[in-house]
Amino acid sequence: MSRKTDIVQAVIDAWCTRQDIDTVLSHLSEDMVWHHSAVTAPPKAGKAGAREFLTAYKAKVRNPNWRMFKIAESEDALFVEGVDEFDTADGITS
């Protein structure tokens, strides 16, 4: 794996095992852009944007499981295709 892929895996581990926002943020740079569910929400920029997204997301999900299928990387970007499975706060599996 590459360094960027290792970082994404560390983010996934911190989120899926503990939903630990501070540990997730410790792996991100201030100039990052978080594209999550890009169809339904605009990307979040910087650690403050990531914290905003993750705080709201944490209130809605339980038992998160992020899986990566495909990864493409360039010198300054990483693109991950995967799936985000979770239970909603009211017990529905998504």
The pLDDT tens digits of the residues spanning 52-86 come to: 989 988 998 999 999 999 999 888 888 888 998 99
The pLDDT tens digits of the residues spanning 2-58 come to: 888 899 899 999 999 999 999 999 999 999 888 876 567 788 999 999 999 899 889
**d(C-alpha 54, C-alpha 22), whole Å:** 10
- Say which amino acid occupies 27: H
Domain 3-88 has CATH 1.10.760.10: no
**d(C-alpha 36, C-alpha 43), whole Å:** 7
Coil/strand/helix, residue 90:
coil
Which sequence spans correspond to the domains of the chain? Answer: 3-88
Compute the residue count for the chain. Answer: 94
Nearest to 53 by CA among 10, 87, 19: 19
